[in-house]
Amino acid sequence: MSATTTESSLQALGITAAQLPRHIAIIMDGNGRWAQSKGLPRIEGHRRGVKSVRCCVEECSRLGIEQLTLYCLSHENWKRPPHELRFLMQLLEQYLIEERSTIQRNNLRFSVIGRRQGLPDSVLNELEKTRSLTSENTGMRLCLAINYGARQEILDACRQLAQAAQSGELNPEDLDEESISQALYTGGMPDPDLMIRTAGEMRISNFLLWQMSYAEIWVTPTGWPEFREDHLHQAIRDFANRDRRFGGLHA
């Protein structure tokens, strides 16, 4: 996106670039419940949610957000019915193929966090194709959390650091918060400033537990299939008006 496009978008929102969240993380909740409320099968809610993803990604890029992280599939979601999981994998693969040109056209950098175990080879191949194709891009980072769980992420980081200490690569006395942050799946990424959750649930569901220590949380009763640019704008405006003290006092 051009600087002029970003500036005009911010003017329409009534905020400055300095008031934008650097990193937005979204728990895309309520697909199944939205579909059932409409008398549709649960999988139709997931299908409709793809349009919300497209709208949100393009608008965040237009506004100049540095990173957008979307919670696509949690570690706990494997408890869902097999037919729903198969559909989710097919939908993810289809999204990666169909949206790749749009991701590239918008100069987005694509990345994935979460464990690879259990994901179909076809999905892993498309994830890697998109990551590789966009690795030199310079625009917004689009990060998908797939087969992701924050407790599992912290456990994997602890194992990595323990192995480094055991091999002599790491002195336990040198371990600090930055060491842990870099060992997480999100190493090198900024922590989220704003976390959005749809469908009205008041919990963070094992999502970015370490990284969201000081994130502002914004919840909407709107289900993800109906989430559009105006909801995103409302969340950003609310964020811009919050007093973030990080444990200190307002200057």
Catalytic positions are: 29, 77
- Cβ atoms of 52 and 227 within 8 Å: the answer is yes
- Cβ atoms of 26 and 192 within 8 Å: the answer is no
Q: Over the range 50-63, which residues count as b (16 or more CB within 10 Å of their CB) and which as e?
A: bebbebbbbbbbbb
Tokens of 125: 């191949």
Q: What whole-number distance in Å separates Cα of residue 61 and Cα of residue 221?
A: 24
- Cβ atoms of 195 and 21 within 8 Å: the answer is no
Q: What is the CB neighbour count within 10 angstroms for residue 100? A: 16
Q: What whole-number distance in Å separates Cα of residue 3 and Cα of residue 67?
A: 17
